[in-house]
Structure 1
Amino acid sequence: MPDPATYRPAPGSIPVEPGVYRFRDPHGRVIYVGKAKSLRSRLNSYFADLSGLAPRTRQMVMTAGSVEWTVVGTEVEALQLEYNWIKEFDPRFNIRYRDDKSYPVLAVTLNEEYPRLFVYRGPRRKGVRYFGPYSHAWAIRETLDLLTRVFPARTCSNGVFKRHNQIGRPCLLGYIDKCSAPCVGRVSAEEHRRIVLDFCDFLAGKTDRLARDMEQQMNAAAAELDFERAARLRDDIGALKRALEKQTVVFGDGTDADVVAFADDELEAAVQVFHVRGGRVRGQRGWVVEKSGEPGKSGQEHLVEQFLTQFYGDQAELGGAADDATNLVPRQVLVPVLPDNAEELETWLCELRGSKVQIRVPVRGDKRALAETVHRNAKEALQQHKLKRAGDFNARSEALQNIQEFLGLADAPLRIECIDISHVQGTDVVASLVVFEDGLPRKSDYRHYAIREAAGDGRSDDVASIAEVTRRRFARHVADAQAPVVEDGKARRFAYPPNLFVVDGGAPQVNAAAAVLDELGVTDVAVIGLAKRLEEVWVPAEADPVIMPRNSDGLYLLQRVRDEAHRFAISYHRSKRSKRMTASALDSVRGLGEHRRKALVTHFGSVARLKDASVEEITSVPGIGVATANAVLEALGVPTIRDEDSAMTGQDMTISEQPGQDHA
């Protein structure tokens, strides 16, 4: 491990201006990014007294092999540069507020002639309005189910909308009055857009006006003795009230704010955020991260600063070309403590939002009460995480130690890689490689391979396939190890070799993988095979397998790794076989070239849907005529139909074909 004294900058060589600094490991990978008002003061604090540093910071300084810096003009520039570098290099010692899931939002496509309501995850797009985020997709669907009774806007996909427009008959939601059925002309485009805009106003907090207007319409209908319409309006008002009950009112003045709270110990911190829009709690998020405090900074101030920089930087990036950027950065951010650079952070947030943003500590009233509620949620989240982590961590540690003891390894296998081969009678041979770190899957490092070397007799050759995949994986590792530095400080995905390399199979497969490693000169990776029949563990050049106890945690972990590799290989094999079968089914159609064949598959999504399509639907694809459509159906084994019957085929759809599965 490097000695910090070997790379400490010379006294007086560090500038006193604000800037951003990067620590690199001996291989050139960026492992930490930070910023400072005075680079000299901050960097000197890392080398003054190692015993006074936080454990994670001390480990970072001991891991690093060099430090470099970039001087900037203002601290706002330093904020932006720090965020960009953390995003680019993904340093292992920086706090990263990564969601374990993508939070869904309710999207309204105002950029379409007939706007649509649906659940959405991903970057924001221009002309689409978003509400959320919500904790669960079912919460959005529940809201839509309540509100489409009052605001019957369409929720179907464009494909379903087009199909029902062609057959001239609405879907089930149109029949039960939960959609105004613009697809069949029940309402015009202008009337449908007015319904959607009322829906947006309701979710934006303009509820009193809508409820008042509906009550007036109900009273007017009752006065005109139109009791049926009055009863329907009464039920609609009830649906609105039930939807409002699901959104807790916390501020009466229509405040837009994010309320942030932390709960931490020496090693970890839990953060909770309540999103308040229009005075109502619209969503909640939470993370648990490892702390990496900087010298001279208190834990809470550093956590607030890092969170605001990363979270709202990610929000702005997620917003992209969205019209309503103000929904991503609120007018107020309520935090437990103000960081030292609160003014610079406010300036940066104002630039992201395009209008004024305040960072405040609530001291009294409703905002203080809500901040305490968020803090209680953060404490509960940290407690639950520690209880869960204690059980999981102990079990994983015991499993890794168990594997180390039975296989006689020098260290516990903190990184395990496993490969598996999948094929059907020697065709479409593929392989998968999965990675487990600390006993948990690291899916970002998963890889799949298309086997290049086919067996000469036309049959599958698992031994040769395993040798090929092993060679391709470790040839890259050898090339990475021979490179003098890592370009731009970015860590290559497989820059770190596994401690244990597992193959799915017995002695022949293990010996093949071991021979490839010997050929490449890789000597620091242990190789084993796990045979499915008796769950035997095979070691290279050994006549007999290692038998691990059936109830051991180590064997259970190896089985999980092997089964995950098998699942990943099967999924890739199925997708590849499906593409081949699709191509082979349409290859025989005269006049159907590669581009039109691809257009057909893209339009319908699968061969099954293409087989169910009518001639009229097939000819709607650009470049496909009636003759070609009939030839496609013949190639797929579907009896051809006359042109004049194609419209009847389109109408021969049952009402059971609902867009419910395509709703958001």
Structure 2
Amino acid sequence: MADPSTYRPAPGTIPTDPGVYRFRDGTGRVLYVGKAKNLRNRLNSYFADITGLQPRTRNMVTTATGVEWTVVGTEVEALQLEYNWIKEFDPPFNVRYRDDKSYPVLAVTLNEELPRLFVYRGPRRKGVRYFGPYSHAWAIRETLDLLLRVFPARTCSTGVLRRHQQLGRPCLLGYIDKCSAPCTGAVSADEHRRIVEAFCDFLAGRTDRLVRQLEQEMRAAAEELDFEKAARLRDDVGALRRALEKQAVVLGDGTDADVIAFAHDDLEIAVQVFHVRDGRVRGQRGWVNERVEDASEPEIVEEFLTQFYGEQRALAQAAPDPQAATAGAIPKLVLVPSMPPDPESMEHWLAEQRGSGVTVRVPQRGDKRALAETVQRNAAESLAQHKLKRAGDLTARSAALQELQEVLDLDSAPLRIECVDISHVQGTDVVGSLVVFEDGIPRKSDSRHFAIKEAAGDGRSDDVASIAEVTRRRFARHAADQSPSDAAQTSENGDDGGNGGAVPGIDPATGRPRRFAYPPNLYIVDGGAPQVNAAATVLDELGVTDVAVIGLAKRLEEVWLPDDPYPAILSRGSDALFLLQRVRDEAHRFAIAFHRSKRSRRMTASALDAIPGLGNARKTALVTRFGSVARLRAASVEEITGVPGIGGTIARAVHEALNAENPAQDSPRAAPVE
């Protein structure tokens, strides 16, 4: 591991101009490529305090042995050079926004004498036109099946085409009028190409003209009493309309746009892109990438737009008409959740890629805002499904437990993990939560809440003391549940059911293990060294020696061990760190939920304390019925009277007391103060 100070540039040698920089390792391999408006400020941030860097960034600067830079004239040039270098060197520490799967597209082989329509995955080829991408291959086949009755183009492979050319008779699709059978000469190559070109025009969005043309031909056939042709054209128009219905209009003004959204946590980032053409969603794609740096959302947007549309332009160059393909791949409007740091430079760079103007903006209202919210929900769902799939993978869970055993030097894999978290608001309503995971899966029946007593007594926040209190109470319960005194008493009374005496840890009433009878293999606290040391001290006082204690600090996801001055750093993509984060996040969620409910009950009860004739039972009934003071204040006397135990006199007293606290709420104009 290299010391960054050994290759740090001398002070004053780094220019303050915009540019692009590269970190290299000892073999000369490019590890990371970045750009900056001010090279000196950006590069100095890598060397000032490496302990403050993200773990992956810290790993990069300690792996590198040198840094170099290139000064450019403008931010636009920096964007282009950064993209070119990332594409050329493929640096391992750069986030590459690539699909996590190959999306299917509808390919049209215009470079063949008899063009073919088929579902395709893979790299783009010259002379082939592509439509999509689509989420699923079945969506392409379903649409293609509808359109083949109107555009009976060839869909068979080259081998099938040659075989039927030799046989002189069409395949099944030719007999059912879903192929014009160019293999048998039923139509000429030029006629078949015109069919394929009409198909391409329809998928490219020129639909209204084609539908009107078919309707005119249908009416003309009916006037000529050719009802068979008119019926066939009527069915063709119906098939086209059904195909259009599958692509609902999301932007009423017929806009061409890409709508982009992100969802991310400390480790990963999910991207969703909806491709809208002529107001309809023509394609969708999404993927999940590992998050490298703690970048802001505007920086994420800039990085993604540079990589994504750079790749789109490169793919479009293989099309028969590169200029038209590029214009189709990069729309005039790009909707993003946040504007990039330098929107003018980004729009200028995108315009250079497209060949005409591009606007980048954040939707504020109307259909575009509604669509952006839909894309955002898809991104969040994609990230959640990704994590759920990973958490539900038995192999991944086993690997995580095994890795934890090795990293923490445990005697066995931590099959039972418990985690403690503290929640409060400026030292008030301090609560703790304890969640349990067994075999990497939450055991929610064993989760517990703790109302903090000792640490919250002085009205101030003290997470260290709160952690110590929860740990003491939890393992005191463990000692009590392990005690055989209750079972021994049961045995003396002759009620042991023939079990032969007391059984430690077993509830004699139910015959089941007590919930705190089993200690965890691994005890996690949410925090750093002070919290870990506090929990370890309590365990030492209680004589608990078979429980490993660690802390997970949120800022850098560091794993702290008791009395260790330096934390352990797990790989950002490791299954072990993912499991620890999942346990910690569940404890955090559980603590916040309890804290909110406790605060709500306290606020409600305090507002009702001053009402005469309202005891604890009636206050509890009101809180249970309405849930909050605001809802109770808005309720009528009749609604309050409907609560069991609340009569008309009490109901009127409650209504008058609560509304007297806020007279302006009942009247649009409050009475003047005299």
Q: Classify the TM-score, shorter chain.
A: 0.5 to 0.7
How far 1:353 moved relative to its partner?
A: 1.6
Query: 1:134 corresponds to which residue?
Result: 134
Q: Distance in 2 between matches of 1:256 and 1:197?
A: 22
How far 1:230 moved relative to its partner?
A: 2.4
Q: Distance in 2 between matches of 1:85 and 1:285?
A: 25
Aligned 8 A contact 2:20 2:70 in 1: yes
Query: 1:54 corresponds to which residue?
Result: 54
Q: How does 1:311-330 map to 2 (within 5 A)?
A: 311-322=308-319, 323=321, 324-330=325-331
Aligned to 1:381, what secondary structure does the other structure show?
Answer: helix
Query: 2:400 corresponds to which residue?
Result: 397
Query: 1:9 corresponds to which residue?
Result: 9
How many residue pairs get matched? Answer: 408
Q: Distance in 2 between matches of 1:101 and 1:269?
A: 16
Determine if the alignment matches structure 1 residue 309 to structure 2 residue 312.
Answer: no
- TM value normalised by structure 1: 0.58
Q: Distance in 2 between matches of 1:389 and 1:96?
A: 21
Q: How does 1:590-609 map to 2 (within 5 A)?
A: none
- TM value normalised by structure 2: 0.57
- Which range moves more in the overlay, 190-199 or 368-377? 190-199
- Which range moves more in the overlay, 150-159 or 45-54? 45-54
How far 1:342 moved relative to its partner?
A: 2.2
Q: How does 1:154-553 map to 2 (within 5 A)?
A: 154-293=154-293, 298-322=295-319, 323=321, 324-392=325-393, 393-400=396-403
Q: Distance in 1 between matches of 2:27 and 2:186?
A: 67
Amino acid in the other structure paired with 1:347: H
Q: Distance in 2 between matches of 1:405 and 1:376?
A: 38
Amino acid in the other structure paired with 2:194: R
Q: Distance in 2 between matches of 1:403 and 1:239?
A: 62
Q: Distance in 1 between matches of 2:342 and 2:269?
A: 21
Query: 1:40 corresponds to which residue?
Result: 40
How many percent of aligned residue pairs carry the same amino acid?
74
Residue-by-residue CA offset, 1:268-321 (whole Å, 9 max, x unaligned):
211110011121101111121222237xxx520111111111111222222233
Q: Distance in 2 between matches of 1:122 and 1:354?
A: 26
Greater relative CO (CA pairs within 8 A, separation 6+): 1
How far 1:364 moved relative to its partner?
A: 1.6
Aligned to 2:118, what secondary structure does the other structure show?
Answer: strand
Q: Distance in 1 between matches of 2:360 and 2:124?
A: 25
Aligned to 2:231, what secondary structure does the other structure show?
Answer: helix
Aligned 8 A contact 1:133 1:283 in 2: yes
Determine if the alignment matches structure 1 residue 151 to structure 2 residue 151.
Answer: yes
Would the alpha carbon gap of residues 138 and 182 (structure 1) be closer, same or farther in structure 2, given more than 3 Å must change? same
Would the alpha carbon gap of residues 4 and 131 (structure 1) be closer, same or farther in structure 2, given more than 3 Å must change? same
Aligned to 2:398, what secondary structure does the other structure show?
Answer: helix
Point out the structure with max Rg over C-alpha.
Answer: 2
Residue-by-residue CA offset, 1:75-101 (whole Å, 9 max, x unaligned):
222222222222233222211112122
Aligned to 1:92, what secondary structure does the other structure show?
Answer: coil
Gaps of 5+ in 1: 410-552, 554-664
Aligned 8 A contact 2:312 2:326 in 1: no
Query: 1:76 corresponds to which residue?
Result: 76
Aligned 8 A contact 1:34 1:82 in 2: yes
Q: Distance in 2 between matches of 1:255 and 1:186?
A: 40
Q: Distance in 1 between matches of 2:183 and 2:329?
A: 33
Aligned 8 A contact 1:30 1:91 in 2: yes
Aligned 8 A contact 2:22 2:67 in 1: yes
Aligned to 1:96, what secondary structure does the other structure show?
Answer: coil
Gaps of 5+ in 2: 413-574, 576-674
Q: Distance in 1 between matches of 2:207 and 2:237?
A: 11
Q: Distance in 2 between matches of 1:199 and 1:140?
A: 14
Amino acid in the other structure paired with 2:44: N
Residue-by-residue CA offset, 1:132-183 (whole Å, 9 max, x unaligned):
1112222212211110011111112233223322321111111110011112
- Which range moves more in the overlay, 341-350 or 139-148? 341-350
Q: Distance in 2 between matches of 1:104 and 1:256?
A: 21
Residue-by-residue CA offset, 1:199-228 (whole Å, 9 max, x unaligned):
112112222222222223333333333332
Q: Distance in 1 between matches of 2:287 and 2:399?
A: 22
Residue-by-residue CA offset, 1:578-633 (whole Å, 9 max, x unaligned):
xxxxxxxxxxxxxxxxxxxxxxxxxxxxxxxxxxxxxxxxxxxxxxxxxxxxxxxx
Aligned to 2:273, what secondary structure does the other structure show?
Answer: strand
Aligned to 2:269, what secondary structure does the other structure show?
Answer: strand
Q: Distance in 1 between matches of 2:74 and 2:83?
A: 15
How far 1:12 moved relative to its partner?
A: 0.2
Q: Distance in 2 between matches of 1:192 and 1:403?
A: 66
Q: Distance in 2 between matches of 1:358 and 1:123?
A: 28
Aligned to 1:8, what secondary structure does the other structure show?
Answer: coil
Q: Distance in 2 between matches of 1:395 and 1:275?
A: 39
Q: Distance in 1 between matches of 2:317 and 2:208?
A: 32
Q: Distance in 2 between matches of 1:132 and 1:259?
A: 15
How far 1:325 moved relative to its partner?
A: 2.1
Aligned 8 A contact 1:22 1:33 in 2: yes
Aligned to 1:205, what secondary structure does the other structure show?
Answer: coil
Q: Distance in 1 between matches of 2:380 and 2:142?
A: 29
How far 1:399 moved relative to its partner?
A: 4.5
Q: Distance in 1 between matches of 2:203 and 2:159?
A: 27
- Which range moves more in the overlay, 56-65 or 324-333? 56-65
